[in-house]
Amino acid sequence: MALRGRHLKVGADVWNPWVSIKEEPDGSLISTGIAVDFLNIIASVLNFTYTVIKPLDGEWGRDLGNGTFSGMIGMCQRKEVDLAIGPFVLSWGRYQAADFSTTIHFDQYGIMMPRPVREVDFASITKPLSLEIWMSLLIAIIISMIIGFLINLINGQLLKEKFDPEEISAISPSWITKILLSEAISHLPTSPASRIYLITWMIGGLILQAAYSCMLTSLLAVPKVTIPVDSLEDLLSYGKIDWIVEKGSYLHNTFLVCDD
């Protein structure tokens, strides 16, 4: 099918090595590249000439959401050019707006980012236990100190003119700290209430220490390194990596859809 010397308008933009465009002093555009070589072969076979026109918005073809497209796809859709050379990524939306030729190239896309490393976290000593457990422990310590104060008051220790910290029947607030830190208690109580108080904290401290030390050891032995970005949605929501794509391209349109 010959076009009998017809002159066509061809939309094109720079995408090396497929299309390279140089503007002459008179304003005309000289195009070279792989896609231009294909076009020249087709032009010689079908007998037509052409003029290259760049899109004013500098885009390839982005879906504007109302059935129209920007860039060179939009120029074809509005009949402003007879054809456009890319290469163009074939998508369903673009396929409905313009007719595509046979595929001449396959390309693959992937997200490349630095390999995740384990960051230094000075708050890691608090990670074995959840915030609820730490808050419950703090409340338990405060309540226990109040109970210890009441036991000392009942035992008459606070009614003396001078409180003796070495008095073995009195409850010392330092017991709780020493039990949690696995330190020795130099003086043991003699009253039944004080002994029950101390034994209760020793049992609770033993369970808490065992659970904490096991979980901390597992965290230190097998560090957990998460991959923050594993999809387009992750990249958009991550917020710590700057990303850039060609304006008006298929990837630009895809990222906009993911963001919505």
Contacts of residue 204, Cβ cutoff 8 Å, sequence gap at least 6: 140
Kindly tell me if the per-residue pLDDT of 186 is higher than 60. yes
Phi-psi category of residue 79: left, alpha or beta, with phi > 0 → left and psi -120 to 50 → alpha = left
Kindly tell me if the per-residue pLDDT of 257 is higher than 70. no
The CATH homologous superfamily to which domain 6-97 belongs is Periplasmic binding protein-like II (3.40.190.10)
Angle at 119 between CA 118 and CA 125, to 5 degrees: 100
The Cα 87–Cα 15 span in angstroms is: 8
Is 257 exposed, middle or buried (CB count within 10 Å of its CB: 0-12, 13-18, 19+)? exposed
Residue 77 near residue 98 (C-beta atoms within 8 A): yes
Written as six digits, the tokens of 100 are: 């595509």
What is the structure's pLDDT at 95? 87
Cα 199 → chain centroid:
48
The Cα 23–Cα 236 span in angstroms is: 37
The Cα 60–Cα 252 span in angstroms is: 10
Written as six digits, the tokens of 229 are: 């970005």
State pLDDT tens for residues 21-35.
988 888 788 889 999
pLDDT band at 223; cut points 50, 70, 90: low
Kindly tell me if the per-residue pLDDT of 75 is higher than 90. yes
Cα 140 → chain centroid:
38
The Cα 2–Cα 135 span in angstroms is: 83
The Cα 257–Cα 62 span in angstroms is: 11
Domain boundaries, the chain: 6-97, 124-221
What is the structure's pLDDT at 36? 92
The Cα 4–Cα 248 span in angstroms is: 35
